[in-house]
Amino acid sequence: MKKKKKVRNSAKAIIIRDGKLLVIIKRDQEGPYAVLPGGGQKWGETLPDALMRECQEEIEILVKVRKLLFVREYRSNQHEFAALSPDLHQVEFYFKCKVDEDYEPSQGDHPDNGQEEVRWVALDQLDAVQLYPRTICPLLRDLQHSIYPVYLGDCN
CA distance 102 to 92: 28
List, for residues 114-156, the tens digit of each pLDDT value: 899 999 999 999 999 999 999 999 999 988 877 888 999 888 8
Which residue segments constitute the domains of the chain, with CATH numbers given?
8-154 (3.90.79.10)
In angstroms, how far is CA 44 from the centroid of its own chain? 21
Segment 66-123, tens digit of pLDDT: 999 999 998 877 656 545 666 788 999 999 999 999 999 999 999 988 899 999 999 9
User: Does the predicted model carry a pTM greater than 0.95?
Assistant: no
H helix or E strand, kind and range, residue 48: helix 47-59
What CA–CA distance (Å, rounded) separates 5 from 3? 6
